Each structure stands twice: as structure tokens, then as C-alpha cells.
Chain A
């Protein structure tokens, strides 16, 4: 597998709290993408971060990438109930994306 075992987890937090999700990968990549999948839908990209960026922000989202430790994180500040979803990180592998196990995030209103 391209992914570390710590990717699979479920988180449940109160609305308004901040959250950070982590993933680690085994094989070399220059790009990590984060996707969100809501119930009954396909994944939708949130952030694409390249190895020369280390950190990227989009609204309430912040992604980091550490190529030396082969890990990435996605933080959401001020979570909303609508942030409830499964969050996947994905690496590019020669013309395709390989997804991690995902984090199931539940936001309690």
C-alpha cells in the first residue's frame, strides 16, 4: 500500500471547534491532494498542495506537506455541521490518484 496504517480514523467534535487530520504516505510524491466526500456523493477536491509549497490555505482550510517525513495534514478552523464528511488525502502516481483510507469527520451541532 502507498499509505501508512494511521490514516483510518473517525473523529467527532462540536461545531465551532478546530480539527486537524493527518496522513502519511510511503512512496515519493510531489503533490498531495485533499478531497471531501459527503454521504452519497463522489469526492470533491478541497486543496492541492505541491512539494515546494509546504503550506496552502483556502478559506477555513489549511493544508501542509512535509516531504521529508512524507506526511500531510488538513486543518479546518471553526467547523460547521456541513463539514461532516469523509476526508481523503491522495497522491499522484503517474497519471492517476491513489487515495488514503480517509478520516470520517462528524460535526455535532
Chain B
């Protein structure tokens, strides 16, 4: 089936540093998402992105967070500066369209971020 690739799979950084999480979505998909999952807990929506713009962001999407997809390359989540509570697994997802009804989201395997 369609594959979403996330790079790296693990990232360890010191608090206050900048980190960029990379996502290679399914090639013909138009909608992109980031979700955050703390170990053993539910998937929490952060942000969705379409046509070069943020459509909606949740309360978890702090001012230190930003997303972009320059020129159809990686869809990235940048955190600057990082905080201890940013430690989690971040999942990227993409979908072909949303339209008038929900569509399937295809998820990557996640990037485990550890902030020390």
C-alpha cells in the first residue's frame, strides 16, 4: 500500500535546540498532517496542511512549532526551541483528498523525539 516515510526514526537533542522532523508523504496526496503521541497514550492532532498553507492547528501546536513543504519536497515539522514536554513520537500522515467526507489517513512509522 501507499507508504509515508519519516526521517529520522529517532532523534535525541538537548532542550533549547532546534529540531526538524522530515516526512515524505505519498506522492499524489494533497493533505498532510502531524500527530503527537506520548508513550501509551492516544494520537493527538497537531496540524493539517494543504496547498502550502496551515488549515488548522490544535492547542498543542505551540508558537515554537512550524510546518512547511517547500517545492513539493519533504513535509517538515520544526520545533524551535525545544522543551522537555516535546518528548514524544511524532507521526506524519497524508491523504489524497478530504472533500465532503472523511478520507483514509496514511501514517508513517513515526519519529521518536527525546529532549534532554
Chain A residues within CB distance 8 Å of chain B: 30-31, 33, 40-45, 48, 50, 88, 90-92, 94-102
Contact = CB atoms under 8 A, between A and B. Distances in A.
Contacts of B98: 95
A16 B55 CA distance: 44
A31 to B, nearest CB: 4
A31 B4 contact: no
B111 to A, nearest CB: 10
Secondary structure of the A side of the interface?
Answer: strand
Contacts of A31: 101-102
B31 to A, nearest CB: 7
Contacts of A90: 43
Given A31-B102, A48-B102, A98 B45 contact: yes
